Every structure is written in structure tokens, then in C-alpha cells.
Structure 1
Amino acid sequence: MPLRPDASVWGALLGACRIHGNVELGKFASECLFEVDSENVGYYILLSNIYANVGQWESADEVRSLARDRGLKKTSGWSSIELNNRIELFYTGNQSHPHCEEICKELEILTAKIKTVGYIPDCSFVLQDVEEDEKEYILMSHSERLAITYGIISTPPKSPIRIFKNLRVCGDCHNVTKFISKITEREIIVRDSNRFHHFKDGICSCGDYW
């Protein structure tokens, strides 16, 4: 490069290593990142995720411990939807919502339906060392799915749904939302930390690149 790479360049490389599963290059990129920006907890989480994705759980724990030792905390993910001038917040695995039972029941029905048209859970987005069936349960409890499902049971059929997520939507949830938009014949607009996603007829405006 004609210029000295900064945190944004090393961060892009680290993100690419997460996508392609390149552990060694990811470790190198993170070491360079920690030299120029050691206070960004996102880089630690990303490196930990790279290790977790290939089953190197001990290394993943070491990276997270390093972040904790430096006083860094991961931002909690949440999704929101506004209905009837009221903002409803959902956290992953949250069961405190008044309509929790109804939401979970509808989500189970939706998941069963999209599986019949080709959906296969991508458990690589679950970064805990647990059994496969538990990984699928964790995916189902992601905040964006809870918010979208609440929108489905709370609004007229075929009406659009708009939600906001404070972090980047995970790849499996992105895939699920495409399927849901198709089987429910709804437009679903998701604003995450990176961009707007407009889902319609099983297709997202981002072209699956975000």
C-alpha cells in the first residue's frame, strides 16, 4: 500500500478473515489492530468469533478474557419496532415481553414453514460450544427475529414491518428474514448498524452483501 494502513484497513482485513475462516491471517490483523486501536471491543469480539467458528474455544475465551482485563465490554444487541406510537424493545433470549408466549409460538410456526421452502439453519453464527439443537434454539431467540415476529402478529396481513437493530444483523437472521418476507408476502425493512435492508419476495436490497 502507498499509505500506512490504519484501523479501518486492518479492521476490513479482520472482517474478511471472519468470512473466509482464515485464522492465522486474522490473528495477524488483530495484532496490528491492537497496536493502533486497542480500545475497540469489536475487534476482540471479531477475533474471538473467528476462533469459535473453527472450534478453538480456548483461544476464543483467551481473547474475551483479554478484553475484560482491559475493561472493555461488549455492547448488548437489541432490536426495536414502533407500533401504535409505542417502541417495543427486544433482547436476544428475552422472555419478559407481555406477548412472549405468543411471539415464540408464532416464531416456531414461521420457522417450520420456511424450512419447507429451503431454509437450513446456519449454526456457524452461534459462537458457544453447545449441541446443535441448542444452537438452533439460540438462533431462534435473536432479537431481530423476535421483533419481526411481534410485528407480524400485531399488524394487518401483508402490511410492511420496520425494525431497528443496534448491531449488524447476523447472516442467519438475514437469510431467515428473506424467507419470512416471501412466505408472508410482506416488505420488511431492517435498519442495522451498517445499512438499510429492504426485504421483499425473498430478496434483500443489499444483494446479500453488507
Structure 2
Amino acid sequence: MWNSIITGYAQHGLGKEALQVFYDMVSSGVPPDEVTFIGVLSACSYTGRVKEGIELFESMKSKYLVNPKTEHYSCVVDLLGRAGKLNEAMNLIRDMSVEADACVWGALLGACRLHNRLDLAEVVAKKLLLIEPENSGHHILLSNIYSSQGRWRDVAALRSNMRVQSLSKSPGCSWIEVEKNVHVFTGGDIMSHPEHALILKMVEKLDGVIIEAGYSPDGSFVLHDVEEEEKVHSLRYHSEKLAVAFGILKVPKGMPIRIMKNLRVCGDCHAAIKLIARVTEREIVLRDANRFHHFKDGSCSCGDYW
């Protein structure tokens, strides 16, 4: 039960509360186990509590007699990586008492993408491709890093290699339940929904009002060698924006709009949904691949740290 509460707080970005529950648990005489530390270290990672996370990790074995496993190292690598401490994360991997697996290297690769460390990303990606050559996600993430640097030849070479290996990327999709029916949206595909005309009008309306409120499309999240106008068009029809537009049309005012997404929410959509929540006076809850985002009054529960 303690672990469930800690993990729940972590997933909703409530790091302070997760830590408090951890200390309440310990003071009540319940010893933490491996799962406890995954939850509390994740909470520290999601909220940028580097000092607290490192202290907890170092106390695992010495104070609580819990041997760190790859899952715990992965949490700490993620903690350091999100905070921009990529060299420290790399040093931790080199000093691990167990062999680093794909989760550990994957956490570091994600941090390289976040902080544009292409030099380190290539090293990490090569490790991952040796460990999991069939995982398209590693190819895609490295491709995205190349794209952000304008290295289109490298992007083309990676994509060609994926085709040779018959690897494909899972498309970004979001879904929302309305009146016990699940509506699924795929990025760029609006015509497949029976109410596409209404959704399209709402997307365009929202786009206009948030631009007036200060929104500026961020083309860096469209990782293709295309013109700026095409990038703006692509951003407008990301799956989470389509789901939000549908939610505003169908979910009664006063009720939260709850959306699920299979991938991490992109930075442009995150900025847009904050403004949509403000101008429409709606609460929007988005659960992406990593955590819950609660948008309300122009801000997000993650504090723009995710």
C-alpha cells in the first residue's frame, strides 16, 4: 500500500508528497523494498530533486540493506540526465555494480535528446543497437537527434537501415473516452474520424485563440527536412491536439478532459495545451508514456519538467 501511494504521487509529478510518504513509511517501522526505491527515485527524477534522489540511492544498501538493481540505476541515470548532468550519468553507468541494460542506456539516450548532446548520443545509441538491434525506438531517437541538428543524410541512412531490417515506428496516437466510447486519434490523420469536419473547425479555432494568447509554433518538434509552413501544419494535427479539440466539443464544461497518449507529449503540444486550458477555462489531464500532466489555468502540474 505504501508503495502504491508513493508510485501514484510520482506519476502525477508530486515529488514532495512522494518523499513525505516514504519518510512516513520508514518512521512507522515499515522497511522499504526494491519497489519502494523505484517509486521514490522516479518521483525525484520527475521533479528535478537531484540532491534528494542521490542521497536516497546512496542510502539504499548502507542504511536500508536493499541492493541496487538495474531498475534503480536507470532511475538515477534518468534523474541526472533530466537535470543535464550527462557526464555524471555516464560515470555512474561505468561504475555500476551490475551490467547496464537497455533501460539504463535508454534513459541516457533520452537525456541526450533533451539536451542536444549529439556526441554522447551516438556512443549510447551504438550500445543500444548492440543490445536491442530489433528495437525501432533506438533508431528513431537517434534519427530525431540527427534531425534536430539538420543532419539529413544521417537521418536518411538510419531510415534506410530500418527499412532493410523491416523495422517500423509506432505512430503517435491519443485516445479519449466519451460516453463509454473510446475515440482514437493518430497524428496527421483527422479524416478517419466520422466527425472530422467539426474537429477540424475546433482545431483551427483553438489555434487562432492561443496564437492571440502568445502561442508560437515550435518547428523544432517536427523532425523532418521540410519548409516552416509545413512544420506548422504538421504540429497543428498532432494526436493530442486532435483529442483535446474533440474533448472540448464533447466533454461537458465543469468536467476534466482526460486523454491518454502512447508516446511522450512533445514540447510544442505541451505549450499549446497549457494555453488551451487557460483560454477555454477547462481542466485537461494528459497521461503520456511516462506520467500524468494536469493542465489548468495556463500551467501544468509537471512545472514544465518532464
- With normalisation by structure 2, the TM-score equals 0.66
Aligned counterparts of 1:170 and 1:190: Cα–Cα separation in 2: 12
C-alpha distance in structure 1 between counterparts of 2:108 and 2:263, whole Å: 19
Shift of 1:67: 2.2
The equivalent residue for 1:54 is: 149
With structure 1 as the length reference, what TM-score do the two structures score? Answer: 0.94
Shift of 1:140: 0.5
> How big is the shift at 1:135?
0.4
Counterpart of 1:16 in 2: which secondary structure? helix
The corresponding residue for 1:16 is 111
- Equivalent residue number for residue 80 of structure 1: 175
Contact 1:92/1:143 (8 A) holds in 2: yes
Residue aligning to 2:250: 154
Equivalent in 203, 212, 215 of residue 107 of structure 1? 203
Task: Tell me what 1:2 maps to.
Answer: 95
Q: Which runs of 5+ in 1 are unaligned?
A: none
Equivalent residue, structure 1, for 2:140? 45
Q: Which residue of 2 aligns with 1:194?
A: 290
Q: Which runs of 4+ in 1 moved over 3 A?
A: none
1:180 maps to which of 244, 266, 276: 276
Q: Distance in 1 between matches of 2:257 and 2:223?
A: 29
Of Structure 1 and Structure 2, the greater helix share is in 2
Where does residue 137 of structure 1 map in the other structure? Answer: 233
SS of the residue 2:285 aligns to? strand
Distance (Å, rounded) in 2 between the aligned partners of 1:74 and 1:138: 17
Higher RCO (C-alpha under 8 Å, 6+ residues apart)? 1
Give 1:116's aligned amino acid.
E
- When the two chains are superposed, the root-mean-square deviation of aligned CA atoms in Å is 1.4
What is the letter of the counterpart of residue 95 of structure 2?
P
Give the aligned residue type for 1:209. Answer: Y
Distance in 2 between the 1:114 and 1:93 partners? 20
* Letter paired with 1:113: V
Question: Which AA in structure 2 matches 1:9?
Answer: V
Looking at secondary structure, tell me which structure has more strand per residue. 1
- 1-side partners of 2:126 and 2:192: how far apart? 40
Residue 91 of structure 1 is aligned with which of 161, 172, 186? 186
Q: Is the 8 A contact 1:18 1:46 kept in 2?
A: yes
Letter matched to residue 40 of structure 1? N
Which AA in structure 1 matches 2:297? D
Aligned to 1:168: 264
User: Is the Cα contact below 8 Å between 1:103 and 1:149 reproduced in 2?
Assistant: yes
* Change in 2 beyond 3 A, CA 1:203/1:185: same
Counterpart in 1 of 2:304? Answer: 208
Residue 120 of structure 1 aligns with an amino acid whose one-letter code is S
Contact kept, 8 Å, 1:158 with 1:184, in 2: the verdict is no
Residue deviations 1:90-130 (CA, integer Å, cap 9, x gap): 11111121211111111111111111222111111101111
Structure 1 letter corresponding to 2:161 = L
> How far apart are residue 5 of structure 1 and its match?
3.1
Q: Distance in 2 between matches of 1:190 and 1:160?
A: 10
Which of 148-157 and 6-15 deviates more? 6-15
Shift of 1:68: 2.4
Percent identity over the alignment?
Answer: 51
Alignment correspondent of 2:163: 68
